[in-house]
Amino acid sequence: MSVLEKRGVRQIDALGRVVIPIDVRRSLDMKIGDNVEFFVDSSQNSVTIKKYVDSCTFCGSHEKLRIFENKSVCKNCIKKLSDIG
């Protein structure tokens, strides 16, 4: 189980935005323009924000991705799919 570390308190503005503190962004290597994912745990009344890393729809690989029908597919899975077709 991971340990949570409090890194400050921020206020939600009128547009629903929250600024992620610079020390948090630096520790997670988040840069301007990066995408993030949101995960909600209703039982804990919490939200987890993770830096988004694109991955293959089939195997989860992050390497050699291509886009097909708006889905990311790695070269290995493309080869496997072409072998069955």
Return the HEC string of the chain: CCCCCCCCCCCCCCCCCCCCCHHHHHHCCCCCCCCEEEEEECCCCEEEEEECCCCCCCCCCCCCEEEECCEEEEHHHHHHHHHHC
Q: What is the pLDDT of residue 6?
A: 85
One domain, residues 20 and 1: yes
Domain count for the chain: 2
Expressed as residue numbers, the domain containing 27 is 1-53
Structure pTM? 0.62
Say how many C-beta atoms besides its own lie within 10 A of residue 73's C-beta.
20
Is 20's pLDDT higher than 80? yes
Phi, psi for 81 (deg, rounded to 5): -65, -40
pLDDT range class, residue 8, cuts 50, 70, 90: confident
Residues 24-55: tens digit of each pLDDT = 999 999 999 999 999 999 999 999 999 888 99
**Under a CB-based contact definition with an 8 Å cutoff, are residues 62 and 76 in contact?**
no
Residues 47-76: tens digit of each pLDDT = 999 988 899 999 999 999 999 898 999 999
Q: What is the pLDDT of residue 56?
A: 94
Q: What is the CATH number of the domain that holds 38?
A: 2.10.260.10
